[in-house]
């Protein structure tokens, strides 16, 4: 019975459609069911798990985004008398409008290439996450994340770097994520060893 319930739950989860509006999703990328993507871009070979929210976000290539991730969104006016949308012209969250102040704080959030966001990560609007970064499960990212850093916690802080500074600089210089698929296929055999990959790259 438990196995049957599990299978039913999986089927219904997959049956939920993704809500995508005013966005560009590369044909090689995938958005799973229950996710909301608005005003955003997903580049090559990136995927977004179930029940995610992306509002005004640029996502690079080869990004791995787990379930329940929330990135971006608009801010409320903390310098007003009230933060409620009933006083704003751009918010339709409530039925009543007492005034229509022209306030919209919706900064662009940018996620680099080859970034991994763990389950239930939250990323504040306007943050930049560097290439190759990893954000641990359940983390709340409130400021920019350096390339190839591993961050975690609330607020997220640097736990360690994935590679040495020398290797990071060399990997960033290759910009391998911009290679055409047919050329990338020839380099893939070196991807399990960054130093070997960089050695071969230097000889090309």
User: Per residue in 103-140, pLDDT tens?
Assistant: 666 789 999 999 999 999 999 999 999 999 999 999 99
The one catalytic residue in 76, 79, 90, 131 is 76
Res. 99: pLDDT tops 60: yes
For the segment 77-86, what is each residue's pLDDT rounded down to a tens digit?
Answer: 778 777 777 7
| Stretch 165-194: mean pLDDT | 97
Domain ranges of the chain: 2-162, 164-204
Active site residue 26: no
- The correct answer on CATH 2.160.10.10 for the domain covering 2-162 is yes
Encoded tokens for 9: 């739950």
Q: What is the mean pLDDT of the chain?
A: 90
Residues in the chain: 204
Intra-chain end-to-end CA distance of the chain, in Å:
58
User: Measured between alpha carbons, how far is 148 from 152 in angstroms, rounded to an integer?
Assistant: 13
pLDDT of residue 105: 65
**Beta-bridge mates of residue 45:** none
* HEC per residue, the chain: CHHHHHHHHHHHHHHCCCEEECCEECCCCEECCCCEEECCEECCCCEECCCCEEECEEECCCCEECCCCEEECCECCCCCCCCCHHHECCCCCCCCCCCCECCCECCCEEECCCCEECCCCEECCCCEECCCCEECCCCEECCCECCCEEEECCCCEEEEECCCHHHHHHHHHHCHHHCCHHHHHHHHHHCCCHHHHHHHHHCC
**Beta-bridge mates of residue 109:** 57
């Amino acid at each position: 019975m438990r196995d049957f319930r599990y299978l039913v739950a999986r089927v219904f989860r997959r049956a939920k459609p993704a809500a995508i509006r005013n966005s560009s999703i590369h044909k090689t990328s995938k958005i799973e069911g229950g996710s909301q993507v608005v005003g955003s871009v997903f580049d090559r070979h990136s995927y977004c798990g179930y029940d995610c929210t992306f509002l005004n976000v640029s996502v690079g290539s080869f990004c791995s985004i787990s379930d329940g991730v929330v990135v971006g969104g608009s801010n409320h006016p903390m310098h007003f008398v009230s933060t409620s949308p009933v006083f704003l012209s751009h918010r339709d969250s409530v039925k009543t409008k007492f005034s229509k102040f022209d306030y919209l704080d919706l900064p662009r959030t940018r996620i680099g290439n080859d970034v991994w966001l763990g389950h239930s990560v939250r990323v504040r609007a306007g943050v930049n996450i560097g290439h190759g970064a990893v954000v641990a499960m359940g983390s709340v990212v409130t400021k920019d994340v350096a390339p190839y850093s591993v961050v975690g916690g609330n607020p997220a802080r640097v736990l360690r770097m994935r590679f040495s500074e020398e290797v990071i600089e060399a990997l960033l210089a290759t910009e391998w994520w911009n290679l055409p698929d047919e050329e990338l296929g020839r380099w893939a055999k070196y991807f399990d060893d960054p130093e070997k990959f960089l050695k071969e790259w230097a000889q090309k």
